[in-house]
Amino acid sequence: MKVLSLAIAFLCSAGIAFSAKPVTDKFERYQSLYRYTPLDLDDSTYEDLTSKPRDYHVAVLLTALEARYGCTLCRDFQPEWDLVARSWNKGSKPDGIKMLFGTLDFNRGKNTFQKLMLQTAPVVLFFPPTVGPFAKVDGPPLRFDFSGPVSADQLYTWINRHLPEGTKPPLVRPINYMRLISAVTILMGLITLFNVLSSYVLPIVRSRNIWAAVSLIAILLFTSGYMFNHIRKVPYVAGDGRGGISYFAGGFSNQFGMETQIIAATYGILSFATIALALKVPRITDAKAQQLAVIIWGTVLLGMYSFLLSAFRAKNGGYPFFLPPF
C-alpha cells in the first residue's frame, strides 16, 4: 500500500508538471521570437497566444495598416505601440510578472476581426493570466478603444493599471537625433548672427530713449482700454440716435474702439507736454524763447486735460468738475 501510494503521488505530480510545462514553454517560445518588438500575429498565432491556460499577461493591438483601409489613426499609433513594447521588454520587470505584446493586422487576421465583430480599428485587447499567482477570474479581455489620437504614455498607464503591484519599467522614448541636430544648428546660427550684428543691435537695445518710448506706448495702449476692446469685441463707433455718430459710450462698463484711440492720443499729448516742460524747456538758453515754450506747452497741457475731463463727464453725467475751454 505504501508503494502504491508513492506511485500515485509520483504520477499526479508528473501530470501536474507536464500540464504546466506547455504554458511556460509557450511564453518562453513567444518571448524568444521577438526580443523587443511586438509579436507579428495571424489568426492561428493569435488563438494560440490568447488560449487557456496561460500564466502570462498579453496585450494585442488589432489594427489595419495598409493605406487602402484609410486608417490614419492606425498608422500614427503604430510607432507608439512599438515604443510601449520596447520599453517593457528592455526595462527591468517585477519578479513573476510575465507580459507579451502582439500586433494583429487586418490582412492577417480577418477571421479574428469577424469573430470579435470589430468594425473599427485600432483596438487594444488585454488578457490577464488564467493560471499562476496573478490569475484572475476568466472573462472577456479588457478593451482599450481609441476615440482619437492616443500617445504611448496614455496606453502604458492604462496597461500598468491592470498589472499586479510592483515597479514597472519606465516608458523611454528614443533620442530624436534629427531634432537635436536641428536645435544645435539653429542655436549656432543665432549665436553667429548675434556676433555679426552685435555692433548694430547692442546700441539699439541699450538705448534708454527707445526703451522709454516702447514703455510709454505700451502704457498708453493698455491704460486707454485696448484689452477691453479685444476681449469684448466692441464696435468702433455707434449712432447717437439723432442721425449722428457717437464716439464715447456712456457708462463705465461700455467703450467704443474710436474712443480708445482718442483717449490714447490725449494721454500721449499730455505725456509729451509734461516731458517737454520737465526736460526740454529748462535746456533752452534764451529766456524769451523759454518763456514762450512754457506758455505753449502749458496751454497744450491745460487744453488737453480739459478735454479729458469733458470726455470723462460725457461717460459719467454726474461728474461736477470741468476746466475751460470745455
Q: What is the C-alpha to C-alpha distance for residues 219 and 16, in angstroms, rounded to an integer?
A: 84
Three-state secondary-structure class, residue 100: strand
Cβ neighbors of 108 (< 8 A, separation 6 or more) are: 41, 42, 43
Q: What is the largest CA-CA distance in the chain?
A: 137
pLDDT in tens, the chain (326 residues): 554 444 444 444 444 343 444 555 788 888 887 777 899 999 999 999 999 888 899 999 999 999 888 899 999 999 999 999 999 888 887 777 889 999 999 999 999 999 999 888 899 999 999 888 888 877 889 999 888 889 999 999 999 999 988 888 888 888 888 989 999 999 999 999 988 888 888 888 889 989 988 998 888 888 888 888 888 888 998 888 888 888 888 887 888 988 999 999 999 999 999 999 999 999 999 999 999 999 999 999 999 999 999 988 888 878 888 888 77
What are the domain boundaries of the chain?
2-161, 207-315
Q: Is pTM, for the whole model, over 0.75? A: no
Separation CA 248–CA 252 (nearest Å)? 11
**What is the pLDDT, as a whole number, of residue 9?**
45
- Between CA 112 and CA 123 the distance in angstroms is 12
Q: Please check whether the domain covering 2-161 is classified as CATH 3.10.20.740.
A: no
Residues in Cβ contact with 288 at an 8 Å cutoff, skipping those fewer than 6 apart? none
Which DSSP string corresponds to 194-244? HHHHHHHHHHHHT-HHHHHHHHHHHHHHHHTTHHHHHHHT--S-EE-SSSS
* Pair 24, 96: CB distance under 8 Å: no
Compute the distance between CA of residue 130 and CA of residue 128 in angstroms, rounded to an integer: 7
Q: Estimate to the nearest angstrom the gap between the alpha carbon of 118 and the chain centroid.
A: 31
CA dist., res. 27 & res. 284, Å (int): 95
d(CA 128, CA 48): 15
